[in-house]
């Protein structure tokens, strides 16, 4: 555990669009010192270093670990490049924060989780929707049984994803061979994590279909998922939409809950929905993770739970490829 009286030194791996958001937040936190940055694109690293006050820029993550000696390493690389710096940072004794997803395959994710556990390090993943007041309140009400026994969930994400990721900096996202899974593993993994976390259930089996463009990018993914307790869920992720949708509806024997990122409604047996008053969100995922390191507690999304999202993502792709029901392993 890091003492609250001591400054936490954070090294950053990856200096693209996501890093600029997270590093800005980290730089504004009290008791945080940015130890240095690294990115294969030296110009991107130098530009971000200059934007936050002139930080050291290192040749690669190994040089960052050896020369800057950070206590925490934050990783904002493209998805396929998460594993190696995370593994090396954990082996160097650092706590590690990884922008979602934890990794692009379940074995790598499990290796990271097991190493963090064996070294007593805190491994966190940037599934920030867990800090949504609407989803947190939905999770609490489901756990209390306020809509009776849970039977079914529908989860939908639709966004003008392709139009939003057309710049050269984000071109890697449009190639599933580079991105590690395409739309469902990029934007869609937030929805999948929200489904699992809010319901409090693991996925057991999945049957999925994908509509893809010639290059292999999944434009639409649809899946039926069997969760623990024989709760059934339907999942739909669409990358071509005139406007954004992020919604989960939980159907119980005595009512239903409908949650979006910022809104929650509950309906009883008579079916009339009532909007729930929600508190203001008090923190962001970066502040939560640094607080977890200081306090020696799990972050909003610990690696063990992010692993379940990776497992379901991998099973969705396997099912869509094989066109058969597959177990989530």
Contacts of range 170-175, beta carbons closer than 8 Å, 24 or more positions apart: 170/17, 172/78, 174/215, 174/217, 175/215, 175/216, 175/217
Rounded Cα–Cα distance for residues 183 and 313 (Å): 11
User: For residue 163, what pLDDT is reported?
Assistant: 67
Residues 214-244 pLDDT 10s = 888 899 999 999 999 999 999 999 988 888 8
CATH 3.20.20.70 fits 129-268+310-327, yes or no: no
Residues 159-204 pLDDT 10s = 887 667 767 777 788 788 888 888 999 889 999 999 999 999 999 9
Contact present, 107 and 166 (Cβ < 8 Å):
no
123 closest CA partner among 73, 186, 196: 73
CATH 3.40.50.460 fits 8-128+285-298, yes or no: no
User: For residue 160, what pLDDT is reported?
Assistant: 82
* Residue 118 to residues 63, 93, 111, 121, Cα–Cα distance (Å): 24, 11, 11, 8
What are φ and ψ of residue 36, in 5° steps? 160, 170
**Residues contacting 168, CB < 8 A, separation 6+:** none
How confident is residue 138, by pLDDT bands cut at 50, 70 and 90? very high
How confident is residue 3, by pLDDT bands cut at 50, 70 and 90? very low
Q: Which residue matches tokens 């509509």?
A: 211
Contact present, 224 and 232 (Cβ < 8 Å):
yes
User: For residue 179, what pLDDT is reported?
Assistant: 84
Name the percent of the chain lying above pLDDT 70.
97
User: For residue 62, what pLDDT is reported?
Assistant: 97
For residue 2, pLDDT beyond 50: no
Rounded Cα–Cα distance for residues 47 and 281 (Å): 31
Residues 76-108 pLDDT 10s = 999 999 999 999 999 999 999 999 999 999 999
User: For residue 258, what pLDDT is reported?
Assistant: 98
DSSP character for 214? T
User: For residue 5, what pLDDT is reported?
Assistant: 55
**Residues contacting 101, CB < 8 A, separation 6+:** 79, 82, 109, 125, 180, 181, 185, 189, 306, 309, 310, 313
Residues 114-125 pLDDT 10s = 999 999 999 999
| CA-atom Rg of the chain in angstroms | 20
User: For residue 162, what pLDDT is reported?
Assistant: 67
Residues pairing with 327 in the sheet: 205
Rounded Cα–Cα distance for residues 225 and 328 (Å): 9
User: For residue 132, what pLDDT is reported?
Assistant: 96
For residue 1, pLDDT beyond 80: no
For residue 253, pLDDT beyond 50: yes
Task: Tell me the domain boundaries of the chain.
Answer: 8-128+285-298, 129-268+310-327
Mean of per-residue pLDDT scores for the chain: 93
């Amino acid at each position: 555990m890091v003492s609250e009286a001591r400054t936490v030194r954070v090294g950053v791996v990856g200096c693209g669009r996501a890093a600029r958001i997270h590093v800005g937040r980290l730089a504004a936190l009290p008791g945080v010192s940015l130890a240095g940055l690294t990115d294969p694109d030296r110009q991107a690293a130098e530009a971000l270093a200059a934007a936050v006050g002139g930080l050291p820029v290192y040749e690669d993550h190994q040089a960052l670990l050896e020369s800057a000696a950070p206590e925490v390493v934050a990783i904002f690389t493209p998805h396929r490049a998460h594993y190696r710096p995370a593994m090396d940072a954990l082996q160097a004794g650092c706590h590690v924060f990884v922008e979602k997803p934890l990794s692009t395959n379940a074995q790598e994710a499990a290796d990271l989780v097991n190493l963090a556990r064996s070294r007593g390090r805190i491994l966190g993943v940037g599934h920030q929707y867990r800090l949504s007041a609407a989803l947190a309140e939905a999770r609490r009400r489901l756990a209390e049984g306020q809509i009776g026994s849970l039977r079914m969930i529908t989860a939908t994400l639709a966004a003008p994803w392709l139009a939003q990721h057309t710049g050269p900096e984000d071109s890697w996202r449009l190639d599933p061979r580079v991105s590690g899974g395409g739309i469902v593993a990029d934007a869609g993994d937030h929805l999948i994590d929200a489904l699992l976390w809010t319901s409090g259930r693991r996925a057991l089996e999945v049957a999925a279909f994908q509509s893809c463009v010639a290059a292999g990018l999944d434009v639409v993914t649809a899946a039926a998922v069997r969760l623990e307790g024989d709760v059934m869920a339907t999942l739909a992720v669409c990358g071509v939409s005139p406007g954004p949708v992020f919604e989960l509806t939980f159907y119980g024997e005595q009512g239903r809950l409908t949650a979006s990122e910022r809104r929650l409604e509950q309906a009883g047996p008579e079916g009339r929905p009532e909007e729930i008053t929600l508190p203001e969100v008090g923190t962001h995922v970066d502040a939560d993770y640094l607080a977890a390191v200081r306090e020696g507690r799990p972050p909003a999304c610990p690696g063990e739970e992010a692993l379940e999202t990776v497992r379901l993502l991998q099973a969705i792709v396997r099912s869509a490829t094989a066109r058969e029901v597959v177990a989530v392993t």
